[in-house]
Amino acid sequence: AQLGLISYRHLVGGKTSELAAILYQAEHTRYLASIGFAADITYCAQVDFLPYLISYKGGRVMMEDQRVAANN
């Protein structure tokens, strides 16, 4: 929960390019990197890389294409 709060505060008030560095504050992130998943962490830390919004509603994972939503 603490990492989530730190990440949120960073995204609201800081440079999004530093999100991966914030994630590396978590022990499990460092563990994943140590077993070969560093590139995956960097990829997943990208902000606004794809035009989709993923949410969890009613027990289902939902994906909304933000390009379509922006045109409505």
Indicate if the alpha-carbon torsion angle 18, 52, 54, 72 is positive or negative: positive
For residue range 62-71, what is the model confidence (pLDDT) as tens digits? 988 776 555 5
pTM comes to 0.57
Pairing of strands 60-65, 52-57: antiparallel
For residue range 19-39, what is the model confidence (pLDDT) as tens digits? 788 888 889 999 999 999 999
Is 14 in a helix, a strand, or coil?
A: coil
